[in-house]
Amino acid sequence: MITLGIIGVVAAMTLPTITQKTQDKQTVSKLKKVYSGLSQAYLMAVNENGTPDTWGAGGMYEPESHKIMAQNFAKYMKVMRNCINMSNSDVAINCSEMFSETSYYSTFRLNDGSTLIFRIWNGECTANYGSSKPLQNVCGRFAVDLNGNDKPNEYGKDVFTFYVTKQGIFPMGSESDRVVTFKKYCDRNKTSDDTNYIHGMGCSAWVLMNENLDYWYCDDLDWNGKKSCK
């Protein structure tokens, strides 16, 4: 009986970890799939319409500009629900409660259940966010909510952010990112946000390149050092 009790305790301790690791692998797989689809859509949009700086978008305070960016991607993706021209309340029901404010975002939902949320920053694509050429030609960003309105709806868990640039789509938090850095915006011990960016927004590049969400489980990860908690 004592042995069985010990086995039960060990199982109770290890099963949640195994379950979480399985969920993490599913998150990595789905994010990579969505990223691939978006990258292909970007190439098709550029082939037909030119680079984003020629799409006619303006600034971040122009709702129509968010729509322009979203529409140029939606044309080349498997859209289940198009919320681009919906009201705030309808967007909240059909696509995203978290990003339902149409003055700031434009959204649509894919057949796989993920929701894409677009926001233009600079229609001329001249915003500078890093040391690489693409990050010196940023047009705006988009977020991917991998499971729509289902919880947890948290950056770095099921919501991941990317830059849209003149050269393509690039995940936030990469080694060349000088604004939304992995160290500052993907730290499990930091809970406060600043006025522009939110904790968890710097995790996307890590997930795609290192294929884990270990930043939730240990504190010493770094682009130039340890890449997992193992």
Q: Where are the domains of the chain?
A: 2-216
- pLDDT tens digits, one per residue of 36-92: 999 999 999 999 999 999 999 999 999 999 999 999 999 999 999 999 999 999 999
Tell me which residues of the chain have a pLDDT lower than 50: 10-11
Q: What is the pTM of this model?
A: 0.90
User: For the chain, what is the HEC assignment?
Assistant: CHHHHHHHHHHHHHHHHHHHHHHHHHHHHHHHHHHHHHHHHHHHHHHHHCCHHHCCCCECCCHHHHHHHHHHHHCCCCEEEECCCCCHHHHHHHCCCCCCCCCCCEEEEECCCCEEEEEECECCCCECCECCCHHHCEEEEEEEECCCCCCCCCECCCEEEEEEECCEEEECCCCCECCCCHHHHCCCCCCCCCCCCCCCCCCHHHHHHHCCCHHHCCCCECCCCECCCC
